[in-house]
Chain A
Amino acid sequence: MPRIAVGTEGEGGLDDVVSHRFGRAPKITIVDVDDGGKVVNVRVLDNPGASASGGAVVKAIQVLVNEGVDAVVGPAFGPNAQAILEEMKVVNLTIPEGTKVRDAVEAAMRELRSRA
């Protein structure tokens, strides 16, 4: 059952929007989706990267690793972050900022299924 993470700007959750910058998004919304595409669980975590000095995106990615996230959805990551995500085996899917989280998750599921 895929676990998808989104950096979110507001309170988090399915009705929030994708943040323009994952590393410094105030919250990370983690969504578990069953293979049928139905949302099974939604959690919102504080992003340690939001208040970090250097390496904000690193701290945010560590959360993804610790939480066993399979894919992170958001606008394009910088080259350093992309390399880390690859190393950590977290799939990176590009989606415009401002997209509603539930739409972003749906798009992510379609993408993951097409890659499978």
Chain B
Amino acid sequence: MRAAIGVTGGKGGTGKSMVAVNVATLISREADLVLADLDAEGANDHILLGASLENEEPVKIMLPFIRYKDCIKCSACANVCDTGAIMMTREKLPMILPRLCDGCRSCLFVCPTNAILEGQRIVGYTYQTKVPARGGGSGSGDEDRGEGEATFTLVTGVLREGEEHTPPVVIAAKRRAANLAKDLLMVDTGAGTANHVAIALSGSRLAMAVTEPTPLGLHDLELILRVLEELGVEAWVIVNRWGIGSSDAIAGRIDEVARSHRATVKARIPYSRDVVDAYVKGVPIVSAMPDHEVTRIFSSLVRELLEVVRGRPEAM
């Protein structure tokens, strides 16, 4: 893998996934790309691409099992458990509560009689789908695919409902995607700025922080730029839904925030009914409307991206 490009935002709903699928579609027509949807709590890229989730693989974390015949009822495991996943019964035997276990294995290391065995718990799944770079359809049905049509691989991480700990799924999906990526890897993160987002972005060559021209977007942009700074990832700011509210009034403040975090505002995507329509149809606008203004903006963005990751100017 040559380089990873992040797509993130801080505020939810700014259009991260829309940007990710459009940029990925364009890049994949010129370079080998794997898109990793690391929004494990609400993975949506496959919906925006009209793709299905295929090649399911479980994401497992360690779950302790007690071999009661070796247990000396010392309670060391229950005492060391940080998350309260081990309870002691009336008979002073440890009982595991799987949902609360985060797989840290401290109990394994404190048990004096090695009475704790390593089992596993499935906390989510990763998927792998081939997506035509024209948008629409799943990987397995090749009916509409012309010869030599560009495709890219979409890897998706999905956290099981009821599981609370997102990082293991993000890590597993990122690893699966990185193993497949021969050239470029694009990571679409979840919303917010918590550690599963930082983990997704870590190691990226650069990241696009997608924001919207509102005080809420600005506030969260500042937070995500701080994360990117701390991770040492170059930050490009993409302002989506330009034109809503009082965009001009806030333009100056967006520039300011970007500058103060050594980020650059690279594009403003106008709010457009066409973008919304493409979104609800499940076809990236760059495929549905190749001559649209928004498509031109994405094309120019992608040219710049490729220049940076390839380290040389791209032919127009």
Residues of chain A having any CB pair with chain B under 8 Å: 52, 54-55, 58-59, 61-62, 65-66, 68, 80, 84, 87-89
Contacts and interface: CB of A to CB of B under 8 A. Distances in A.
Contacts of A62: 84, 87-88
Contacts of B90: 65, 68, 88-89
Contacts of A66: 88
B88 A55 contact: no
Number of contact residues on B: which range applies? 10 to 19
B95 A55 contact: no
Chief secondary structure at chain B's binding surface: loop
A55 B97 CA distance: 9
B83 interface: yes
Interface centre among B85, B89, B90, B95, by most chain A C-beta atoms within 10 angstroms, is B90
Given A87-B95, A88-B95, 8 more contacts: A54-B164, A55-B85, A55-B97, A55-B100, A58-B84, A62-B84, A65-B90, A84-B97
A54 B90 CA distance: 22
Top 9 nearest A-B pairs (CB, nearest first) are: A55-B84, A55-B100, A58-B84, A62-B87, A59-B84, A54-B100, A65-B90, A88-B89, A54-B83
Interface of B: 83-85, 87-90, 95, 97, 99-100, 164
B245 to A, nearest CB: 37
A55 B85 CA distance: 8
Nearest to A80: B99
Contact of B87 (A52, A68, A88, A89): A88
A2 B142 CA distance: 70
B264 to A, nearest CB: 39
A88 B92 CA distance: 11
B282 to A, nearest CB: 36
26 contacts: A54-B84, A54-B100, A55-B84, A55-B85, A55-B97, A58-B84, A58-B87, A58-B97, A58-B100, A59-B84, A61-B87, A62-B84, A62-B87, A62-B88, A65-B87, A65-B88, A65-B89, A65-B90, A66-B88, A68-B90, A80-B99, A84-B87, A87-B89, A88-B87, A88-B90, A89-B90
A39 to B, nearest CB: 24
Contacts of B97: 55, 58, 84
Contacts of A89: 90
A52 B82 CA distance: 11
A38 B90 CA distance: 26
Nearest to A89: B90
Contacts of B89: 65, 87-88
